[in-house]
A and B are shown apart, each in its own frame.
Chain A
Amino acid sequence: MTPLLKVENLSIRLPEGADREFAISNVNYDLLPGEILCVVGESGSGKSMTANAIMGLLPATIEVNRGTIIFDGYDLVSLEERRARALRGNRISMIFQEPMTALNPLMRIADQISEVFLIHTDMTSKERETRTLALLEDVGLPDPEKMMRAYPHQLSGGQRQRVMIAMALALEPSVLIADEPTTALDVTTQAQILKLIKDLQKKHNTAVMFITHDFGVVAEIADRVVVMEKGIMVEIGSRDEVLNNPQHSYTQKLIAAVPPLTAPERISHKQSDRTPVLSVNNLYKTFSTGGSWFRKGRVVKAVDNVSFDLYRGETLGLVGESGSGKSTVSRCVVRLLDSDSGEIVLGGSPIQLLKGRDLAPFRKRIQMVFQDPYGSLNPRKTIGQIIADGPIAQGMSPKDAMAKAVELLELVELPAAALDRYPHEFSGGQRQRVGIARALAHDPEVLVADEAISALDVSVQAQILDLIETLKKRLNLAVLFVVHDLRVAAQVCDRVIVMQRGKIVESGNTRQVFVSPNHAYTKSLIASIPGAHWRSGKDAKPPIPQEVVA
C-alpha cells in the first residue's frame, strides 16, 4: 500500500537553552490509508512535535531542521504557507487534548464548525447550516438543533470533544491527527469518544495518527504503534508485536509500569476488633452557585450521605469520575472545606466543628498530598522551608524542624542537598516526593492523597505509588487514596469506595469489587477502561473492541 503521509528523517531543533538540542531527531514513519497509528511516549518525548510539524502549528521559535513530510506529493515542510493552509482543516485535520479550552468561548458551536466550510468551500450559508447540523448528528450529540445555537461553556467535556471531532471531520479529511484527545476525559466518556473516533474512521476510511501516553488506549484502538523516547523513535510495529512482545528496553519499561487490571490478593485486615483511626458518618456537603436578590442559585449535592471507616495500615480508595464528589470528601475530611452536616471522627474525637486553636492539634494528625505537584509548592520557598514550615507552626524549634526535614528527604529518597533549592529545580515526580515529605513532617496517622499521581508520567507514577506503599507499611499509616484511574486503584487499594454524584454506590474489598462488581455504575466504569482485556492477567490476547455499557 502506498503511504498517505510519509515522515522522512525529520529533525526539529529546540531553541537554545532547552534541555536538549533536538525536540525530535531523525524520525521516520509512514501513515497508511485507513489505519490508526498510535504515537506513544511520556511527556517530553516529542510525540506531539511531529504532529504539529505536519499541521504547520509549530511555535515560531521552533523550526524543522531537516527532513521531509510528504503528503499527496507535496513536502509539507517546504510547502508555501498559502498552499499548506488550503490543506489544513481540509485534507489534514487535528483534534486536541483539552476540549475545555479548544473552542472559542464567545462563538456559537454552529459558527465554529461552519467556519471550516467558509474557509475551504463556496457553500452558501444555507448549505453550511445543513452540513453542520448533519455533522452534529454524526458525532452523536444530543439535540443537534439546540447544539447549533449553544456556546462551548454550556457543553460537557465529552460533548465539546465531539464538536471538535465534527469540526475536524467536516470536509472528510484523509488524515486525522488526534493529540491526546481523551486524556482530559473521564473513563466512560473516554470509551465513548474512542469508539466514536474508531467508527467514523471506519466509515470514512480516514487515516488516524493518534498521540497518547496511555497503553490501554493503544491496546483499544491502534493498528500500528510508534514509541518515542526523548525525541528518538525507539520502536515501531504492529499493535500486537509492540504490546505483547516489546523489543526496546524503554518500551518494555513503559509497559511494565502499566498496572494490570487485576487486584492482587491482599491479606484482609480483621477490622471488627480494631477501632478505626478515621470515621466519617453521614457526611453532607452542598455547593450553591449564582443566586442573588432575585434569582435562586444552582445547588449541587457534592457529598450526599457518605459514611466510611479507615484503619491504620490500610489504603482505602475513593474512586469515581469528575463531579462524583470524591475530592470534596477528601477536602472535608482534612477540614479544608466545612461540611454541612455529619460527623468526622479522628482518633475518637469529632473534629467537624473545631476551629482555629482547637483544630490545630488535629491538623497534624491528618495530612494531604495534592494533585498538582507544580501548583502545590510555594515557588518562593526552599524545599527545606516548605517541609519545616508545618512543624514550626506546630511549635517545633526551627533547628529541630530543619533536622527533621533532612530525615524526611532521605525517607522520600531525595538528596539532602535538595534542602536549599527551590521547587522549580525539580521534576514533577521529585516535587511530589517533596509534597509527601511535607505531609509526613507532622507524623500524621492519616495521609490523604488527592489524585496525587494523576499529573505524572506512568513510569514516575509507579515509583511514587511504591513510595507511598513503603511508607504506609513503615509508618503504619492509614491512606485515603482519591483516584480516578481504576488500574491504579486496583493495584494500591485494600478496599475501594465507588462514588457517583455525591453518593457511595458500592464499597468493599478491592479484588471483590473488580472481579464481581454489583452496581451498574461500577460495572460501566470497569468496562470503560481502555484495553481492559490487555494485561488483564487471564487473557493476554489482543482486545476485541467492546461496547460501552451505558
Chain B
Amino acid sequence: MSIKILLYIAGRAVKGLLVLLVIAVFNFFLIRAAPGDPAQVMAGEAGATDEVFLQQLREQFGLDQPLYYQLWVYINNMLHFDMGITYRQQMPVFDLIMDRMPATLLLTGAAFVLSLLLGVLAGVVAAAKHRKWPDSAITVAALVFYATPLFWLAMMASLLFSVYLDWLPSFGMQTVGEDFAGWDKVRDIGIHLVLPAATLGLFFTAVYARMTRTSMIETSRLDFVKTAKAKGMKPSRVLYRHVLRNALLPVVTLAGLQAGQLIGGAVLTETVFAWPGIGRLMFDALFQRDYNLLLGVFFISSAMVVLFNLITDVIYCVVDPRIEL
C-alpha cells in the first residue's frame, strides 16, 4: 500500500460521495413519480378515510409541503446522516435497516462465497476437460441455471426439498417457537440458509462457471502458456500456476458486480423464503408507500455498489501488476 493507492482511494471516495448525492436526488423523484399516497395507505389500514385524518397524517410526515421543500429537507437530513423515521413502525430508518442487515448479509454473503467457489471450480474442471464429457455436463448445467428464472427455481426447490422430501425448512430464518442457543442456533440458522442461499447463488455460479471456462480456454492459448510448457512443467501445474491466475481477471470484474448486489439483490429470494432481511423490508415498504424507508434502503444499496466498485478496482490493481491506479 503506497501513498499512491491511498490518494487514489481518497479521490475515488470523493467522486463516490458525489455520485451518491446524485443518486439520492434521483431516488427521491423516482419514488414520488410512482402512483400511491402513503397517507391513504395508512389511513386505509387504520379504517379511517375522512379528510381531516388524512390531512393530519400528511402534516405529520411533511407530505403537505411542496416537493422542492421535501427534497431539500431530505437531502439536508441525509447530509447530517439522518435517514428519517419510518411512517409505519415509527422507528429511525437507519436502525431498522441495521436491524435487518445481518440476515441479508448472511444470505447474500453465503450465496456469494458459494457461487464464487463452486463456479470457478466448475469452470476450471470444464476447461481442463475441454470437449470431454465433464465439460459438456458443466456447460449444460450452467446454461440451465443461467436461463431459469430465480423465483421459479426457488419455488421448485422448496416444493421438492421441503414439501416432498421434508429435508429442509421452506421459510424463515429460525424455527418458530424454538429458542435455540449456541451451536443449536447456528445449526438451525444453517439449515434454514441452505435453500435460499443455493437459489440465490445458482445464477451466479452458472455465470462464474461459464466465464471461468471461456477465460481459461482463451488464456491457455496465449504464448506464455507455451513458454511454461516449454519449461517442462506438468500440465496440471501450468493450469494452476499460469493459466488460472490470468483467467480469473475477468471473474474479478463479475464478482465485483455481484458483491455490489449484496444488499439489494435478494428481494425475490427473501420474499419467497420469508427471510427477514432488507429485501423483505423493501418489499413491504413498497406496498406501504413508506417513502423514508424505501429511500433509506435504496440509498444503502447504492452506497454498497459504489463501495464495491472501488474495492474491485483496488483488488484489480493488486492482482494485475499491469494496472496502474
The contact of A119 among B11, B233, B322, by CB within 8 Å, is B233
Is B35's beta carbon under 8 Å from chain A?
Answer: no
Q: State how many angstroms separate the Cβ of B182 from the closest Cβ of chain A.
A: 44
Distance in angstroms between the alpha carbons of A107 and B238 in the assembled complex: 13
B227 touches A106 (CB 8 A): no
Contacts A292-B11, A295-B4; A93 near B224 (Cβ below 8 A): no
Is B186's beta carbon under 8 Å from chain A?
Answer: no
Contacts A98-B223, A293-B11; A105 near B320 (Cβ below 8 A): yes
A90 touches B232 (CB 8 A): yes
Is B317's beta carbon under 8 Å from chain A?
Answer: no
Residues of B within 8 A of A151 (CB): 321-322
Residues of A within 8 A of B11 (CB): 292-294
Q: Show 14 A/B contacts (Cβ-Cβ < 8 Å), sorted by A.
A: A85-B232, A85-B233, A88-B229, A89-B231, A101-B223, A102-B227, A104-B224, A105-B321, A119-B231, A119-B232, A119-B233, A293-B11, A294-B11, A295-B7
Q: State how many angstroms separate the Cβ of B5 from the closest Cβ of chain A.
A: 11
Distance in angstroms between the alpha carbons of A106 and B316 in the assembled complex: 11
Q: State how many angstroms separate the Cβ of B293 from the closest Cβ of chain A.
A: 36
Distance in angstroms between the alpha carbons of A106 and B245 in the assembled complex: 8
B320 touches A106 (CB 8 A): yes
A96 touches B232 (CB 8 A): no
Distance in angstroms between the alpha carbons of A106 and B252 in the assembled complex: 15
Distance in angstroms between the alpha carbons of A93 and B230 in the assembled complex: 7
Q: State how many angstroms separate the Cβ of A332 from the closest Cβ of chain B.
A: 27
Distance in angstroms between the alpha carbons of A98 and B321 in the assembled complex: 20
Where the two chains meet, the residues of A that have a C-beta atom closer than 8 Å to any C-beta of B are: 55-57, 85-90, 93-94, 96, 98, 101-107, 115-116, 119-120, 151, 153, 164, 167, 290, 292-295
Residues of A within 8 A of B229 (CB): 56-57, 88
Interface size class on chain B is 20 to 34
> What per-residue 1/0 map shows which CB atoms of B231-248 lie under 8 Å from chain A?
111100000011001100
- Closest residue on chain A to residue B321 by CB atoms: A151
Residues of A within 8 A of B8 (CB): 292, 294
Distance in angstroms between the alpha carbons of A101 and B160 in the assembled complex: 51
B231 touches A102 (CB 8 A): no
Distance in angstroms between the alpha carbons of A119 and B228 in the assembled complex: 11
A105 touches B233 (CB 8 A): no
Distance in angstroms between the alpha carbons of A98 and B227 in the assembled complex: 11
Is B88's beta carbon under 8 Å from chain A?
Answer: no
- Closest residue on chain B to residue A103 by CB atoms: B224
Interface of B is mostly: helix
- Closest residue on chain A to residue B223 by CB atoms: A101
A153 touches B322 (CB 8 A): yes
A120 touches B232 (CB 8 A): yes
Apart from the given pairs A56-B229, A94-B230, 19 other A-B contacts in the complex at a CB distance below 8 Å: A85-B233, A86-B232, A88-B231, A88-B232, A90-B232, A93-B230, A93-B231, A103-B227, A105-B321, A107-B242, A116-B232, A119-B232, A167-B227, A167-B231, A290-B324, A292-B11, A294-B11, A295-B4, A295-B7
Contacts A104-B242, A104-B246; A89 near B224 (Cβ below 8 A): no
B230 touches A89 (CB 8 A): yes
Contacts A105-B246, A293-B11; A57 near B230 (Cβ below 8 A): yes
Distance in angstroms between the alpha carbons of A88 and B229 in the assembled complex: 8
Distance in angstroms between the alpha carbons of A291 and B323 in the assembled complex: 13
- Closest residue on chain B to residue A81 by CB atoms: B235
Residues of A within 8 A of B324 (CB): 290
A102 touches B233 (CB 8 A): no
Is B129's beta carbon under 8 Å from chain A?
Answer: no
B322 touches A105 (CB 8 A): yes
Interface residues of B in 1-43 (CB under 8 A from A): 4, 7-8, 10-11
A104 touches B4 (CB 8 A): no
Q: State how many angstroms separate the Cβ of A229 from the closest Cβ of chain B.
A: 26
Is B222's beta carbon under 8 Å from chain A?
Answer: yes
The contact of A294 among B7, B234, B246, B322, by CB within 8 Å, is B7
Distance in angstroms between the alpha carbons of A104 and B233 in the assembled complex: 14
A55 touches B228 (CB 8 A): no
B232 touches A87 (CB 8 A): yes
Residues of A within 8 A of B10 (CB): 294
Residues of B within 8 A of A293 (CB): 11
B230 touches A55 (CB 8 A): yes
Is B226's beta carbon under 8 Å from chain A?
Answer: yes
Residues of A within 8 A of B223 (CB): 96, 98, 101-102
Distance in angstroms between the alpha carbons of A293 and B319 in the assembled complex: 24
Residues of A within 8 A of B224 (CB): 101-105
Residues of A within 8 A of B320 (CB): 105-106
A164 touches B227 (CB 8 A): yes
Interface residues of B in 275-325 (CB under 8 A from A): 319-322, 324
Distance in angstroms between the alpha carbons of A93 and B324 in the assembled complex: 34
Which residue, of A94, A104, A116, has the highest number of chain B Cβ atoms within 10 A?
A: A104
Interface residues of B in 185-236 (CB under 8 A from A): 222-224, 226-234
Distance in angstroms between the alpha carbons of A346 and B111 in the assembled complex: 64
B233 touches A115 (CB 8 A): yes
- Closest residue on chain A to residue B246 by CB atoms: A106
Q: State how many angstroms separate the Cβ of B26 from the closest Cβ of chain A.
A: 24
